[in-house]
Structure 1
Amino acid sequence: MAAVTSQTTQTGQDEVTDLSKQYDTPMGLAHSTMQALKDRIKLHYDLASDYYLNLWGEHIHHGYWATDEAKAKDTKEVAQVNLIRLLLEISKVSEGARVLDTGCGIGGTSRFLASELGCTVTGITISTKQVEMATRLTKAEAAKQIQGDHKTVTLDADGFIALGKGKVRFLELDAEKMGEYFASDAGTFDVVWISEALSHFPNKALFFQNAFKVLKQGGKLVLADWFKGEELNQTQFDNDIKPIEDGMLLPPLCTQPDYVKFATDAGLKVFHEPKDISKDVSKTWDISWSLVQNPSLWAFAFSQGRDGIAFLQAFRAMRRGYSNGSFRYAVMSFQKEQSYPTSIDISRPQPPPPPAHLLSSGPVRSDPSKIMATYPQPRNQRGAELGILVPPRMDVGELRNSKTENRINGWSPNA
């Protein structure tokens, strides 16, 4: 879709911004443009993560209020944990799972999975600042659990911090390179977890391909993300979606079916169909909008120039988008299927074949004509109309001889 984002300069002319150029280029953007966008995302989180912690808490994602009662009484923090529990529910993540938390932010979900489920979690983020904050917060929580000082909390040889029944580590890594980085660990993660980060990725198809590579057979990809509504008109796009993409530093938003196609094209199967929970998360932005009235946050935004102002203004667009349905939120999960051996292990003893006389041509269930040819015709006209078949008669002597022969040959129908 060819559209631009502009701002008016002192000369009165519209200046086209760098980010808006994404709309004039197909999805396969030039690497320099892709890299420029990722550099801006990294800078944004390096500068703003302290404000995120104050605004959102340790979980930098939406809250989930599933019922009217929850909407009335649950705090933002409780609702954020409820979203994690929903993702666990739709993915059936097992205790002790090995998890790759992609776009881990400041590590809230990683810590939850380690503490509550005993998972071994590797969190990755593009932001240097977020790695530092996540590690610091994790050490503080680990110290609290052992009633010690955070300075006494150490990392093991692989950089993990013991936390609850599990352990956590954080790495600065561009998620688009995770397939290459974890090449030696290919096929070893039980879970790839990504919450509200994939919308930032310029090459989403590559992410699904990399997730397939690092997952073990039977492993799960579970995600929560922002989407645009389907079949939007130009006015809806210009008023709601474009300000969100611009302010949140997003490449063009996808629809929910787009993600399903990316996943299946990469070889994954749908484990849980997309579940649209827009109405149950939209309260997040009502709360956030009230929080961003803090003058210090606007002062920070102004200090960052256009990107900072656009970021805060996107909050209003998100509230509006949720209200009119143009902006959506969904969770879903996928699985890397198990593969089973197609050959028979001849070293294992096999059951003996049935006697030769029992291998003669008999009825073939899938071909009624062969059944009719094998068995005699029904005994009456009504039976013929109903298709009732009567097997050949066998007298007692024949039955006894047949059983005796089977025993002599070492074969029994019940063997």
Structure 2
Amino acid sequence: MKTFTSKDIENYYDQTEVHYKLHWELEKSMGLHYGIWDKSTKTLHESIINTNFLLMKFGEIKPSDSVLDCGCGIGGSAIYLSKKVGCQVTGVTLSAKQVATAKKLAIENSVDQLVSFYQLNYLETGFADQSFDKIWAMESFGSSFDKQLFFKEMQRILKPGGKILFADTFKPYPYDIDQEIDMQIMLNGWAISDILSLEELTKLAQDHNFETPQINDVTKDVKKSVERLYSLSLAGMVASKIYNLFKKVSHFSKVHYKTGIAQKKAYENGKWGYYLVMAEKKNA
């Protein structure tokens, strides 16, 4: 199993940001995540915003909440929560480039008094014990090279009764990623070593003083996003190979199209699902 450093993860997001701007409506939606589609969703932009809405609703985020956005990207979820609910949100990311963009967007959206952004590793934040009511983890947990350390740190900085809110890909059942080439291509292309199964996630949460997680399976509702990413990647494959003939490009930019192709194959084979998960810290 391939491992990635914090620098690798930072490089991935910095190197591929242009792809998200061109193909995932990054500047409009401010989100790099899968969009969840329902009967009222008509565009990719609406689906990306819908993912924020559904996780916010699932986690019952209130105006009085102090929220930590782990792996905040360019600040889209933090800005959305502050505008929609009026809560205080702190965003952390490994990328200095993303911090600068997030701060700029917060000012443009008139929420810079409610949100703040820092270049920090969410595995060792340095925040005081029991600082937050909610932890927001929108497709960022998988990037953690030490999932136990993540829960240990979140348990420390969450208040009793506080909640971790995940919107992410998980394995529906345990299996060895070394035996699944499509999953390796998919995850490694996103600077992710491996993801947990729902069973492993539940045990890890319980081992770190969290109640049994509540899990909402929305796998079928990201199908259109999966298919769109696949189509874009097929087109990107041709463009990437031509571009690479004339100019040297970064590693993640070079292989990025492969992730979109592999994620659809693995999705259709039931190797990953998309879930909204809430894990509540016990009071004692």
Regarding TM over 0.5, the answer is yes
Q: Distance in 2 between matches of 1:104 and 1:41?
A: 13
- Residue 169 of structure 1 aligns with which residue? 116
Tell me whether 1:59 sits opposite 2:10 in the alignment: no
- Residue 151 of structure 2 aligns with which residue? 208
Structure 1 residues 234 and 111: CA distance shift in structure 2, 3 A: closer
- Residue 221 of structure 2 aligns with which residue? 280
Structure 1 residues 304 and 264: CA distance shift in structure 2, 3 A: farther
Q: Distance in 2 between matches of 1:52 and 1:297?
A: 15
Letter in 1 for 2:165: V
Deviates more, 1:288-297 or 1:313-322: 288-297
Q: Distance in 2 between matches of 1:265 and 1:227?
A: 18
1:184-216 CA distance string (max 9 Å, x none): x31121111101011011001111111111111
How is 1:376-415 mapped onto 2 (pairs within 5 angstroms)? none
Q: Distance in 1 between matches of 2:236 and 2:194?
A: 30
Task: Please tell me whether the aligned partners of residues 67 and 133 of structure 2 are also in contact (alpha carbons under 8 angstroms).
Answer: yes
1:189 to 132, 146, 158: 132
Q: Distance in 2 between matches of 1:117 and 1:46?
A: 30
Task: Please tell me whether the aligned partners of residues 176 and 206 of structure 1 are also in contact (alpha carbons under 8 angstroms).
Answer: yes
Structure 1 residues 78 and 297: CA distance shift in structure 2, 3 A: farther
Task: Please tell me whether the aligned partners of residues 65 and 87 of structure 2 are also in contact (alpha carbons under 8 angstroms).
Answer: yes
Task: Please tell me whether the aligned partners of residues 246 and 310 of structure 1 are also in contact (alpha carbons under 8 angstroms).
Answer: no
Which SS does the other structure have where 2:92 is aligned?
A: strand
Letter in 1 for 2:108: A
Which SS does the other structure have where 1:111 is aligned?
A: helix
Unpaired runs of 5+ residues, structure 2, are none
Structure 1 residues 300 and 283: CA distance shift in structure 2, 3 A: farther
Q: Distance in 2 between matches of 1:296 and 1:113?
A: 38
2:255 to 310, 335, 338: 310
Q: Which has the higher contact order (CA 8 A, sep 6+)?
A: 2
TM-aligned CA deviation for residue 250 of structure 1: 1.0
Q: Distance in 2 between matches of 1:296 and 1:132?
A: 32
Structure 1 residues 280 and 139: CA distance shift in structure 2, 3 A: same
TM-aligned CA deviation for residue 96 of structure 1: 2.9
TM-aligned CA deviation for residue 110 of structure 1: 0.2
Task: Please tell me whether the aligned partners of residues 15 and 252 of structure 2 are also in contact (alpha carbons under 8 angstroms).
Answer: no
Structure 1 residues 297 and 137: CA distance shift in structure 2, 3 A: farther
TM-aligned CA deviation for residue 337 of structure 1: 2.5
1:288-322 CA distance string (max 9 Å, x none): 23344358973489743543333220111111111
2:90 to 98, 122, 137: 122
Structure 1 residues 85 and 234: CA distance shift in structure 2, 3 A: closer
Tell me whether 1:256 sits opposite 2:198 in the alignment: yes
Question: Percent identity between the aligned chains?
Answer: 26
Letter in 1 for 2:161: G
- Residue 54 of structure 2 aligns with which residue? 86
TM-score, normalised via structure 2 length: 0.88
Pairwise CA RMSD: 2.5
Task: Please tell me whether the aligned partners of residues 49 and 129 of structure 1 are also in contact (alpha carbons under 8 angstroms).
Answer: no
Moved >6 Å (runs of 4+): none
How is 1:326-341 mapped onto 2 (pairs within 5 angstroms)? 326-339=271-284
- Residue 166 of structure 2 aligns with which residue? 223
Q: Distance in 2 between matches of 1:141 and 1:296?
A: 37
Tell me whether 1:324 sits opposite 2:265 in the alignment: no
Q: Distance in 2 between matches of 1:202 and 1:294?
A: 29
Aligned length: 276
Task: Please tell me whether the aligned partners of residues 139 and 167 of structure 2 are also in contact (alpha carbons under 8 angstroms).
Answer: yes
Which SS does the other structure have where 2:5 is aligned?
A: helix
TM-score, normalised via structure 1 length: 0.62
Task: Please tell me whether the aligned partners of residues 182 and 266 of structure 2 are also in contact (alpha carbons under 8 angstroms).
Answer: yes
Structure 1 residues 297 and 55: CA distance shift in structure 2, 3 A: farther
1:13-65 CA distance string (max 9 Å, x none): xxxxxxx3x4xxxxxxxxxxxxx522111112122224323332211111111
Letter in 2 for 1:60: L
Task: Please tell me whether the aligned partners of residues 222 and 334 of structure 1 are also in contact (alpha carbons under 8 angstroms).
Answer: yes
Structure 1 residues 329 and 300: CA distance shift in structure 2, 3 A: farther
Which SS does the other structure have where 2:188 is aligned?
A: helix
Query: Quick check: which has more Rg, 1 or 2?
Result: 1
Which SS does the other structure have where 2:123 is aligned?
A: helix
Q: Distance in 2 between matches of 1:297 and 1:191?
A: 42
Q: Distance in 2 between matches of 1:232 and 1:223?
A: 21
